[in-house]
Every structure is written in structure tokens, then in C-alpha cells.
Amino acid sequence: MKFPINEIISLLDDRLALNLAESTNKDLILEEIWDESFKQGLKKLKLEYGTSQGDEKLRALVGKKLKVAKEHIVITNGAAFANFLAMLCSCEIGDEVLTVQPNFPPTMDLIEGLGFKRKLLKLSFEEKYQLSEDALFKIISKKTKLILLVTPLNPSGTTLSREKVEKISTRLNKEYPECRLLIDETYREATYGNNKVIPTFAGFKNNIITVSSVSKSHGTPGLRVGWLHSSDDNFIKEVTTVKINTVISNSVLDEYVASQVLKNETKILQIRRIHVAKGLELTKEWVERNGNFINWIEPAAGALCCIKLRETKFSQKEIEEFYALSKQAGIQIANGEWFGETKRFFRLGFGYMKIEKLGTTLEKLTEILKKTAASQPIKLSHNK
């Protein structure tokens, strides 16, 4: 098989009632963006082919929010397809794509699926999944043509500093000028309450490509609308050509709805940022109450965080029982193995469900933690 089977597919096909696995903000419904102008435009919308680079008005809206020219934007079928296009246009067979682990499974699996060599830089929970510039450059070679970084990171919500990205970009230009830096910003706008939105890296440096979408922050993953930005005119032309030869164009219906989403995004994002801030606070209180059983990394953005089952309370047997009882209780959890970690870790989404339902679900999870944790501390070997 070109792509390995990953159980993250269960998030689409086997949805449980109490979903702590989902990483998006709460779903948007059409009623939230419905007005007379939108309705009339929808009635008259021609279901024709879209344009190769994407609807001009939609690109203008994206360009305005990123403060870049619309000519340097390609509308894609979600950020996932933007990553696909960036890899395909940056690499030849035998070239290397370097990314971090843990990471979104399709991002890691796509590399070898396209026939390129995958290099993974393992990040550490104990170091809060922070990227080491020195560690990164130790594994770069002349065959590395693309480095894919994610900020905020899925599954932890941790971020890369602007200073670190600038250093990496500068070193690449000097030492590996043929290598591009791709930054996936899918969760960038999913901030909490009145927290300042993380600035985009679009247009920051000439060797940086950025991708994002309306899926996570806006709560519209079903639209399948994302975008890719590069300041390199030739690269944009190549990406557009590959897009034509794979999917031809985006759905004009999706693009039309996405434009309405972006026109109303101030209100849409405000509602979701207030909601996700409440979810984060509830989750933080839950982690503190269960500190004997779990540890976490508090996220900087995104409706998600990474939880670790403590070694002193959970052997492999207890871990398996924890997942089994969670499933029996109808609680969906994003297994750490999906992202290249072990089952000791899991991604917890706190922005998807209603707050009351989130609270109830977390309390049920507390009961499961207490039931499955070892009654006596587990003795650790010297290498743990």
C-alpha cells in the first residue's frame, strides 16, 4: 500500500458520542453566516469549473488577512492538499522531506507515499515538544529539499517562536539554498478569549511556504478549503499546474461558502475563542485535580492538548485498560500512536463539544483514570 493504515480514520468513520479526540473548534452551521445577500448569491451560483489558482475574491480575502498579495496564494482542498502540492513541487524521487514527530499522521505518511525519503526529528514531551535548531541541522543533508514544521503543533498546541523560525530560514538560505521551509499554520487563529493571534509566517522570508485552512479555527472542516502562500512566482505557477493535473479546481460551492465565512470571521472567531477558552480552563482544572495520574503540556493555541499517563501509575496493562474502558463509556480519545508517540500519550480536544458536555465527559474520564491506575506506585527502572 502507498499509505499505511492509521486508526485516526476512526474520527471520520466511527464517531463516539463523547468526542474528546476532535481537534477543531465547534462546528459552524450555515445559519451563522446566512443573510439575504448570501442567499441570493447562492441561488444564482453557477456550478461550473472553478479557476486553477482559486476564486479571485476568496484569494483576496485570504491575502488581506495575511497581508500578502492574492497573486501569491493558491486555494487548495484543505491544508492537507496544500502540503501535498508543496511536497510534490519541491522534491524529486530520492529527495528528502524532513518533519517533526509527533505530528498529524497524513503529514508524516504523505512523504513516503509520494516516493520521497522521510526524515523525522523526534520531539520530547519532557522538553514541551520544543524544536532544537541544532538537532534539526544535524539531520539535514544536501538531499533535503523541504522541511515541514507545524505551529501550533498537532497534537500539543505548542508553538515555534518567530526568532527560531528566522534563524532556521537564514541558515537554510546560507547552507542549503535549495531547501524550502514549509510552515503549517492550520491552528494559528484558534487562540483563547482575548489572547493575541499568533502572527502568520506568510511573506516572512523568501524561502518560507505557509499553508492553512478554515477547518480548525473557524470550525468548517467539511468545506475542504485551504490555501498555500509563497512569494516565489515560479513556485506558485508550478503548484497551480500540479493542482490542475490532480483535482482541476476547487468546488465553486465550497469557495463561495468559504468567502462568506471569511467575510464574517471576526464574529465567527470571537464566538469560538470564547468557547475554547472556557474549554481550556475546564481542562486545566481537570488536569490539576488528576495530577497524580496525568501530566500535560499547556497549549499556546489550538483546541487541543497532549496528555501523558504517568509511568508511576500506568504500566502497559493499565494503559490498555484505560483505552478499553474509555471506549466502552462512549468516550473517543486520540491515541498517541496515531501521531508517532506511544499509547501513554493521547490528544485531548477541548473546543469541539459544548462546555457542559465537556465537563461531564472529563468527570467520566476521571473515574476511568482512578479505576485503571495501579493501586501501588509502579517501580521504575533506572532508564525511565
Cα atoms in the 13 Å half-sphere on the side-chain side of 6: 22
User: Please, are residues 6 and 105 in contact by the beta-carbon 8 Å criterion?
Assistant: yes
Question: How far is the C-alpha of 77 from the C-alpha of 249, rounded, in Å?
Answer: 9
- DSSP one-letter code for 31: G
User: pLDDT at position 384, please?
Assistant: 44
**DSSP assignment string, 138-186:** HH--TTEEEEEEESS-TTT-----HHHHHHHHHHHHHH-TT-EEEEE-T
What is the predicted pLDDT for the residue at 1? Answer: 76
Give pLDDT, residue 377.
Answer: 83
DSSP 46-76: ------SS--HHHHHHHHHHHTS-GGGEEEE
* Distance separating the N- and C-terminal Cα atoms of the chain: 36
Predicted pLDDT at 194:
94
Query: According to the model, what pLDDT value does residue 5 have?
Result: 86
Q: What's the pLDDT at 383?
A: 53
Residues facing 120 on adjacent strands: 99
Pairing of strands 208-213, 180-184: parallel
Q: What is the pLDDT along the chain (384 residues), one digit of tens a residue?
A: 788 888 898 888 888 999 999 999 999 999 999 999 999 999 999 999 999 999 999 999 999 999 999 999 999 999 999 999 999 999 999 999 999 999 999 999 999 999 999 999 999 999 999 999 999 999 999 999 999 999 999 999 999 999 999 999 999 999 999 999 999 999 999 999 999 999 999 999 999 999 999 999 999 999 999 999 999 999 999 999 999 999 999 999 999 999 999 999 999 999 999 999 999 999 999 999 999 999 999 999 999 999 999 999 999 999 999 999 999 999 999 999 999 999 999 999 999 999 999 999 999 999 999 999 987 788 776 554
- The three-point CA angle 345-352-319 to 5° equals 20
